[in-house]
Amino acid sequence: MNLQKVTVPEISRRKRDGKKISMLTAYDYPFARILDEAGIDVLLVGDTLGMVVQGLDTTLPVTVDEIVYHLKMVARARTRALVVGDLPFLSYQVSIEEALRNAGRMMKEGGAEAVKLEGGVNVAATIAALTAVDIPVMGHVGLTPQSVHRMGGHKVQGKKRGRAPGGRERLLEDAAAVEEAGAFAVVLEGIPLDLAAEITERLSIPTIGIGAGVRCDGQVLVLHDLLGLFDKFAPKFSKRYVNLKEIVGGAVRQYVSEVESGAFPTDAHSFHSPKVVEKPLALGGRPARSAG
């Protein structure tokens, strides 16, 4: 495994070298450590934490404070992976000043090496302002979960032609705008495979797909989907590599039954008081005590 630190320029180079980029979301120290040691290239502290960690129905309520809190844990575990912080809903749309301040917090307080934000033409000026002060930006176009209410749900985008938001031509323009504004990579979410392939061919920055087919320059999944820890719904594009919910549930059921039956803890899990050894009476004195 290549143990060299993954950097922003390295991610940009991957496209030229034809080496795919692997990215996963991470929200805490123990999992971030496992992912980093397993060789993942990019750890994204995504606003999906609202859904898979906090149990919300959308990502909209997630705050900058919450992302920073989770970033700190993930950044502490990082040795090799690039850590990216997701700018949550309304942390970058109100003004460029707020975008700069919030993205700055992700780096200064959270330890992120880059930030991600959703949108295309509509956020190009914001991306340009962030990159102008050396805050590397990853774009995100297509199915953008922060636009869930405009889209009428988490729906595949780019199936219809046209330049209205979510239309095929509009998504081509969005991806181009993100690149022109200075983003170093772009997530393509929930779009047809052929559209993702066309965007990937047109752009010189890497595309990282989720529900966008195999012809992207990299792939990203939500960790809890991959591990089988989130079962409210299973996105078609996701792949469950293991069913941790079942494994963890089995372990906990066994623990409950062993506590109830008294099979746990055994002697091996217990502490013992030091042995008290009575020594023979010293002449004229009290018995001496020693711990054995």
- In sequence order, the 6+-apart residues with CB closer than 8 A to the CB of 178 are 120, 123, 124, 127, 139, 141, 186
Nearer to ligand KIV, 203 or 210 (CB): 210
Q: Is 25 in the site for ligand KIV (CB under 6 A)?
A: yes
- Beta pairing partners, 289: 278
- Looking only at residues 167 through 196 of this chain, which bind ligand KIV when binding is defined by CB under 6 A? 187
What are residue 143's phi and psi, to 5 degrees? -80, 100
47 near ligand KIV, judged by CB under 6 A: yes
Q: For residue 119, give the DSSP letter.
A: B
Nearest approach in angstroms of CB 234 to ligand KIV is 14
Helix locations, the chain, DSSP H: 8-17, 29-37, 49-52, 64-77, 96-108, 124-132, 148-151, 168-181, 193-202, 223-226, 244-261
Please pick, from the candidates 48, 102, 200, 219, the single residue that binds ligand KIV as defined by CB under 6 A. 48
> Which one of 26, 138, 210, 216 is in contact with ligand KIV (CB under 6 A)?
210
Q: Is 46 in the site for ligand KIV (CB under 6 A)?
A: yes
**Angle formed at CA 140 by CA 38 and CA 111, multiple of 5 degrees:** 50
Going by the DSSP 8-state scheme, the letter that residue 231 receives in this structure is: -
* Nearest to ligand KIV of 51, 124 (CB atom): 51
Point out which residues pair with 84 in neighbouring strands: 44, 114
Question: By rule CB under 6 A, what count of residues binds ligand KIV?
Answer: 11
Largest Cα separation within the chain, whole Å, is: 105
Residues in 67-96 that interact with ligand KIV by CB under 6 A: 86
Supply the minimum distance, in Å, between the C-beta of residue 146 and ligand KIV: 9
220 binds ligand KIV (CB under 6 A): yes
**Is 189 an annotated catalytic residue?**
yes
Q: Which stretch binds ligand KIV (CB under 6 A): 46-54, 91-99, 193-201, 239-247?
A: 46-54
| Contacting residues toward ligand KIV, per CB under 6 A | 25, 44, 46-48, 86, 140, 187, 210, 220, 222
Residues labelled catalytic:
189
